[in-house]
Amino acid sequence: MSITREKIIEIGEELVLTKGYNGFSYQDISTVLGIKNAAVHYYFPSKENLGTSIIKTNAQRFEEMVDNMESLNFDEWNQLESFMKLYLKSNRESKICLLGSLGTDVNTLSDPIHQELTKMVDRIISWMETLLQNGMKKGLFQFTLPARDQALRILALLIAGLQLARILNKSDFKTIYQSILEEITPKPQS
């Protein structure tokens, strides 16, 4: 596969995470790569193509990470923490989450992008639901809500945590991050 194509997706993703889907243009990408705007259209005829490719690439990266953690026999706690650490990295880089970024612009996205986005969120939620469920059985987690609801809460805290941290202060994300871990840490019996 083409290296230029990969770089376009990479830069496109970075721009979605920093400026939002409607906040960047093909020119922004071509300028960074030192090529012409038309060269970007050569790989991605329309912005819709680029948008879906960005989401698909992201979703694929997620699946690879999950597969990798499974094959390394990560327990549920470590899997969740690894996932959450992706957000710590985003916070350091002043980026937000792809889901939160596109969640803002969802009404301006064409159907194919919208569907890809929904698919990815569904996938992450159900992955986390299973993870929480299994982890609780093992006593690694403790919570009272249905596992899917707990997953929704964790994802929401991560997504808006990054957004709030970019408005306020990076340290505010760390606060939220810590609180998530505390929320599901098993409490000693009294």
Footprint on this chain of DNA (rule: CB under 7 A)? 2, 4, 24-28, 30, 34-39, 41-43, 45-48
Are 132 and 150 spatial neighbours (Cβ–Cβ below 8 Å)? yes
Judged by CB under 8 A, the stretch of 36-44, 60-68, 73-81, 169-177 that binds a second copy is 169-177
Count Cβ atoms below 10 Å from residue 21 Cβ, excluding itself.
22
Q: Please give the residues from 31 up to 90 whose contact with a second copy meets the rule CB under 8 A.
A: none
Tokens representing residue 29 in the block:
């990408």
Residue 112's contacts (CB-CB under 8 Å, 6 or more residues apart) are 48, 51, 52
Instruction: State which residue, 22 or 126, has the beta carbon closest to DNA.
Output: 22
Chain Cα centroid distance, residue 102: 10
Q: How far is the CB of 29 from a second copy (least distance, A)?
A: 16
Are 98 and 17 spatial neighbours (Cβ–Cβ below 8 Å)? yes
Q: What are the angstrom distances between the C-alpha of 113 and each of 99, 102, 130?
A: 12, 9, 26
- One of 45, 145, 170, 185 touching a second copy (CB under 8 A): 145
Q: How far is the CB of 33 from DNA (least distance, A)?
A: 8
Q: How far is the CB of 75 from a second copy (least distance, A)?
A: 25
Are 50 and 12 spatial neighbours (Cβ–Cβ below 8 Å)? yes
Binding site for a second copy (CB under 8 A): 18-20, 22-23, 94, 96, 99-108, 117-118, 121-122, 125, 145, 149, 152-153, 155-161, 163-164, 166-168, 172, 175-176, 179, 182, 190
